[in-house]
Structures are given as structure tokens and as C-alpha cells.
Amino acid sequence: MIRRYLKSARPAPADARAVGELKPVPPAAWREGRPVLGPDQVYVMKYGREFHTQWCQAVAEKWASAPRGLLVTLLADVGSRSRCPQCSRAASPARERHTRGRHAPEPAPSASVIPLRVVGIAHGILYLAARPEFRDLLSGTAVEPATPLLVGGRRDGMVVRVDVSRDEPLLVVQMDPRAAFRDGPYQARLRAPLQRSATKPYAVEAIEPAPREPDS
């Protein structure tokens, strides 16, 4: 297995081989275009001997210079990489709470989920509105081809565009002609764009019915 990996990969520095194979995973969330770690995740670099438990200076510099070389992996998969000294020093809870942002608590996985409500359906086009506070986020969000509306795991339509010209931004969905319209709250799930040429930091992964909200 390891031999096959090494044969297919371009020659890696000896130390990269020694620290163990890289197993990148999607980050728990994205915030301001950056990957945000889940509780069991760490940052690693493509050719690095260390792992990082926070957005330390080394991570920030990597992100600024070569973002594709910055990867997220599970803490369980760091191999023999060691925790970077700055991340180790900052590991006390008091320091970790001191993150940037006004009253931002630790990033929640829900940061990548936008609640939506139905504002209209006509001629097979479904209009879903997000609250004004999501306008900035949606301005940085692309709709890639074949983005589905998923209902009960079934594809009921395709997301065709985001409209941020209104105070309440819209997500526009073309319904499948055979699909039955389902009323109720929806949500958009965001992820990093798949297209390497993407100019926006987010893309819609899918729209789906939302779990019921207490305030609706």
C-alpha cells in the first residue's frame, strides 16, 4: 500500500516519507474563506514534519503563500509529526479562547449552514431567502454546476444561482418536473469550491430541508 503510494507520487523529501502518509479530510467549517478545525482535526502541510492545532503563525504564512499546501487531517492520522512549538505553547485554554473576532465563540460546524425560507414558487422555480445577516457570506458563495436540492436523499432540483442584490439574498432552485414541492424551512450547506479556478471562497454543496427550528 505504502509502496504503491510512493510509486505513484512524485519523489517526496525523505522526511515527508518518514512522518507518515497524508490523509487530508474536509475541514469542519469555513470562516472568512479559511478552513476551520473540528475538535479532532489539525492542520498539516504537504511537506512538513509538524502538525498545528490552531491558526498559528506558521499556518497563516503557509495559507498566505501556498494555500493548497495547507491541509486538514485527523489528529489520529498525524503519524510521527510533532506539534509545532507555537501551537504547543498556546495550548492552554486561556490562550485558545483568545481568538480573533468580536464575541465569536469557537467556530461551530453550523457556520457552514445557512437557514432559508420559501418566498415563492412559480413555473418550476423555487425561491428561497436567507436572512440579511447572511448576505456577506453568500456574496462569497458560488453555485457550481449540478448543485442539488436534496429532499430525503433524493435530488428534487438544481440550484441555479445566488442573488445577493436584495437585502434578503435569494437562492434560486430549478425544481425537477417530477418532484413534489415540499413547503417548510430549508437550509444551504456550504463547502469549499471544487473548481480550482474558483474566485469565491465558498460554494453551495446542497440545499435540503432544515431540521425544525424553534422560532418558526
List of residues contacting Zn ion (CB under 5 A) = 52, 56, 58, 84, 86-87
Local structure of residue 19 (DSSP, 8 states):
H
Residue number with CB closer to Zn ion (11 or 39): 39
- Least distance between Zn ion and beta carbon 201 (Å): 22
- Least distance between Zn ion and beta carbon 83 (Å): 7
Q: Which helix (H) or strand (E) holds 62?
A: helix 57-65
- Least distance between Zn ion and beta carbon 42 (Å): 9
- Least distance between Zn ion and beta carbon 81 (Å): 11
- Least distance between Zn ion and beta carbon 59 (Å): 6
Residue number with CB closer to Zn ion (37 or 149): 37
All residues at 6 or more sequence positions from 46 whose CB lies less than 8 Å from its CB, including other chains: 16, 22, 68, 69, 71
Determine the residue type at 98: H
Cα angle 160, 141, 120 (rounded to 5 degrees) comes to 45
Residue number with CB closer to Zn ion (70 or 143): 70
Spatial contact of 72 and 24, defined as CB atoms under 8 Å apart:
yes
Residue 180 C-alpha cell reads as: 413534489
Residue number with CB closer to Zn ion (20 or 185): 20
Residue number with CB closer to Zn ion (52 or 81): 52
All residues at 6 or more sequence positions from 201 whose CB lies less than 8 Å from its CB, including other chains: 30, 32, 33, 34, 140, 192, 193
Q: How many CB atoms lie within 10 A of CB 149?
A: 26
